[in-house]
Amino acid sequence: MRRGLLVVVSSPSGAGKTTLCRRLLQEFPDLKFSVSYTTRPPRTGERNGVDYWFVDAQSFQRMVEAGEFAEWAEVHGNRYGTARAAVEDALVRGHDVLFDIDWQGGEKLKAQFAGDAVMVWVLPPSLQVLEERLRRRATDAPDVIGRRLAMAKEELLHYTSYDYLIVNDAIENAYDHLRSIYVAVHWELRRARFLAAKLLETGNT
């Protein structure tokens, strides 16, 4: 059975990775979203167990100390983590898992699951556009937006850890690129060689 993929999509906050990820999930129902644990309070419309597993700081720390996370990081004063058991189970079962995650988590996943991770970095067209998107989103206070913009400049330096770059200048174009990456990676020789092996085995019987 084919081993699963970890599709890791990262970007500075406001670059549009969540919108792109949602569209990919809608088109490919066999692709599952990785639900992270977080100490961040829920935003309007977010559901526990669907968008995130919302836990308090003490519960999160207990999970860290027990080694239950494949990766975890603190971002904008909140902690986020991915359960190791869920990742390993998905890979073994041949399930593809989508991660909407920051660069710190992405790099840790790549280090642990190098042969399974497909790393995609989403860039905004410019920092000005990024600021406009954050303000239009209206989910953060002005001082939080300022911190996010300052951090975005540092986050952008980490694109070199990724395999693919997408510029989200227009959502349709950006999604076409993400979709193409997801479809094509399944047919890399290292992942699809079992098809040739099966054919040759049939021809020898």
Domains and CATH numbers, the chain: 6-34+96-203 (3.40.50.300)
Confidence of residue 202 (pLDDT cuts 50, 70, 90): low
Angle between helices 171-185 and 17-27 (to 10 degrees): 50
Structure tokens of 104? 């710190």
Q: What is the mean pLDDT of residues 184-200?
A: 75
| pTM score, whole prediction | 0.80
Q: Is the pLDDT of residue 42 over 80?
A: yes
Q: What is the mean pLDDT of residues 131-139?
A: 72
Helix (H, G, I), strand (E, B) or coil at 171: helix
Q: What share of the chain is helix, strand, coil (3-state, %, to 5)?
A: 50, 20, 30
Task: For residue 190, count CB atoms less than 10 angstroms from its CB and return exposed for 0-12, middle for 13-18, buried for 19 or more.
Answer: exposed
Confidence of residue 27 (pLDDT cuts 50, 70, 90): very high
Q: In this predicted structure, which of 27-31, 52-56, 74-78, 178-182 has the lowest mean pLDDT?
A: 74-78
**43-99 pLDDT, tens per residue?**
999 999 999 999 999 999 999 999 999 999 898 789 999 999 999 999 999 999 999
Q: What is the DSSP letter of 70?
A: E
Whether residue 162 contacts residue 106, with contact meaning beta carbons closer than 8 Å, is answered with: yes
Whether residue 182 contacts residue 24, with contact meaning beta carbons closer than 8 Å, is answered with: yes
Beta bridge partners of 92: none
Whether residue 161 contacts residue 199, with contact meaning beta carbons closer than 8 Å, is answered with: no
Q: In this predicted structure, which of 60-64, 79-83, 141-145, 166-170 has the lowest mean pLDDT?
A: 141-145
What was the pLDDT predicted at 154? 82
Q: What is the DSSP letter of 11?
A: -
Helix (H, G, I), strand (E, B) or coil at 169: coil
Max intra-chain CA distance, the chain: 69
State the DSSP H helix or E strand holding residue 121, giving kind and residue range, or none if neither. Answer: strand 117-123
Whether residue 133 contacts residue 14, with contact meaning beta carbons closer than 8 Å, is answered with: yes
Above pLDDT 70, what percent of the chain?
A: 91
Confidence of residue 10 (pLDDT cuts 50, 70, 90): very high
